[in-house]
Copies of this chain bind each other. A is one copy, B any other.
Amino acid sequence: MSLPTRHAFFISDRTGITAESMGEALLFQFDTFEFKRATYPFVDTLEKAEETVALINQVAAASHTRPLIFSSIVDKEISRIIQTSAGLHLSFFDAFIHTMETELGVASNQKVGRTHGIQDPDRYDARMEAVNFSLSHDDGVSDKDLSHADVILMGVSRCGKTPTCLYLALQYGIRAANYPLTPDDLESTDLPRMLKPFKHKIYGLTIEPQRLHHIRSERRPGSRYANIDNCRSEVNEAESMFRQHNIPFTSTTHKSVEELAAGILQATRLQRRF
């Protein structure tokens, strides 16, 4: 039996990232529907608003259902036009802005929300600097790099260090280096020599051996590197090292980069630059 279908529109005068984020969180609460999604970013003129309304109305007529409209439109005129559509209008600006105006005792400035734009060039540059840092110190670190890092993610090859570092940099402006534990490093539970001065910055990542075996097998099928017993012993040795030195660590097996990054930020109490 197929699920009933509904159309969901994410509409924004900027990137649409906030509208999508909010809308997806709400849609996730209704898993007995199949939602057909469409994002309309940069709806920042009255003409574009009218075109968008026409599209919504076409979909409504063709599907005989009311589309769900998740809107992050700031401009009152544009929002008013979107509200004339045949969709169910869910706008968090309209929902909250009056409450906030009352609380703060001032009118909102009605600036188009550049939440995901460059509000502060220095901060934005610091964030891009963090991205460059994480990129250029991926899998080939030096002492100098480590001294400039905010955090050093340590773990065996292919356990998820690199995407987590990149997300920490892109989302939070954190300079995240990563240190891949090689079989040589794992021969004892001593910390790799290069890392000893930076122990306080280290955060460990681990992974279920079966999952590691799967990931490594896609890279080098049949290799010792991908062998399940080898994966098991590397993971065990890495976890022993973390425990030996009281290094906080988490498993990447069932976590997204967003969850890993937010968890690491919380655990390390690092200050974001963004």
Contacts and interface: CB of A to CB of B under 8 A. Distances in A.
Interface residues of A, number: 69
A167 B169 CA distance: 11
A261 to B, nearest CB: 8
Tell which of A103, A124, A263 has the most Cβ of chain B within 10 Å: A103
Interface in A102-117: 103-104, 106, 108-111, 113-117
A232 interface: no
A9 to B, nearest CB: 14
Contacts of A21: 17-18, 21-22, 115
Interface of A: 6, 14-18, 21-22, 24-26, 28-33, 41-42, 66, 68, 72, 74, 88, 90, 92-93, 95-97, 99-100, 103-104, 106, 108-111, 113-119, 124, 128, 131-132, 135, 138, 162-163, 166-167, 170-171, 254-259, 261-263, 265-266
Contact of A171 (B17, B29, B135): B17
A114 B27 CA distance: 11
